[in-house]
Amino acid sequence: MTTTDLTAAELEDDWFDEAPAEPKYAVRAGRYRFPAPPGAKPSSNGWMRMSNLAGAFSDQRALQLWLERETLKGLRIADDLYDELCAAPPEALTGDYLEALADRARERAGANAASIRGTARHTMFQGFQELGVIHGNTVMRSQLGELLDVLDACGLDLLPEFSERVIWHPIADGTCGRIDARVRCRRTGQEGILDLKTKAKKFWTFQEVAGQQAGYDSALLIWEGPPNEDGRLAPAPRNNLIGTSPECRGKRVALIAHMPQASGPESPPVHIREVDVEYGRAVLETAAENVRLRSLGKATSANRQVHGLRSPAIVE
């Protein structure tokens, strides 16, 4: 039989592999869509991200002002977007449309460049841990080499089986996150969290960073297996890494691998920084309380809202 004797469907079966199915459990619309662990109340809207919870600790005014400046700059640079905005009828100026247009304007202004470079470095780090290969340009490869040298100088070994693993924490009615790595100290055998950060220290502070790492460090469960019914939430490994820096000596710590990136050929040095997870735990608990209070402040149902209409005085 020749290929001309086969039907189109048979040819497709013979020559083409099926596209891999989309993972059932993943991050969608900014929330983790994973099953609830035994004994926990299921979340119909998914689980909050640990980074978002930690970000609820502090004032975001500086970030918001920067976003507004970048949006205006983008509209000035991209006159085609400005023309589009002016041509849109008033009924088209919905929240979704304006939000999408503002995002496109910021992208034209280069506001997303640092985020894209950071994502690329995370992808490179994951590929190295899981496959032992390094993909990236010269600057990225140099930074990864510098990071590995710094880890070695600190006596820390990567535990590659914990690359990019999803964790679940019971705080705030259930919160998920994705740890970048875990490490083991060659001298003590202690193990702890290692999180890769690529941002210049502009908007994030060690309040949010410590809170996020404390959540990763004390997570109860970790996802094992593929992102479908064949996987499961299992007990997370316990971390016991102790700090050695003057600021954190003797304290429980998580580690930040800070790989700041710039647009040019020269990048700032890579270094490892310790964060106090006990302080981070207090930050995370405060953030969870902020989330709860904000939810009550926005509530509209009579049994939850914190305001009401005062009745006129009754004169007898």
Span 86-127, pLDDT tens digits: 899 989 899 888 988 888 888 888 777 777 888 888 899 999
Note whether residue 4 is domain-resident. no
Q: What is the pLDDT of residues 32-56, one digit of tens each?
A: 999 999 999 998 899 999 998 988 8
Q: Which residue type does 60 have?
A: Q
Q: What is the pLDDT of residue 110?
A: 78
Are 89 and 121 members of one domain? Answer: no
- Distance of alpha carbon 166 from alpha carbon 219, whole angstroms: 10
Are 182 and 278 members of one domain? Answer: yes
Are 202 and 261 members of one domain? Answer: yes
Which of 111, 138, 159 is a domain's end point? Answer: 111
Are 151 and 281 members of one domain? Answer: yes
Note whether residue 21 is domain-resident. no
Note whether residue 298 is domain-resident. no
Note whether residue 43 is domain-resident. no
Stated pTM of the model: 0.79
Are 153 and 57 members of one domain? Answer: no
Q: What is the pLDDT of residues 216-231, one digit of tens each?
A: 999 999 999 999 999 9
- Domain range for 80 is 53-111
Note whether residue 198 is domain-resident. yes
Are 101 and 156 members of one domain? Answer: no
Note whether residue 121 is domain-resident. yes
Q: Which two tokens stand for residue 43?
A: 């979340």
Note whether residue 195 is domain-resident. yes
If one counts the domains in the chain, the total is 2
Are 162 and 102 members of one domain? Answer: no
Report the mean per-residue pLDDT for the chain: 87
Are 65 and 156 members of one domain? Answer: no
Which of 62, 91, 111 is a domain's end point? Answer: 111
Are 124 and 95 members of one domain? Answer: no
Which of 79, 111, 143 is a domain's end point? Answer: 111
Are 81 and 195 members of one domain? Answer: no
Q: What is the pLDDT of residues 19-35, one digit of tens each?
A: 666 789 999 988 999 99
Are 216 and 143 members of one domain? Answer: yes
Are 267 and 153 members of one domain? Answer: yes
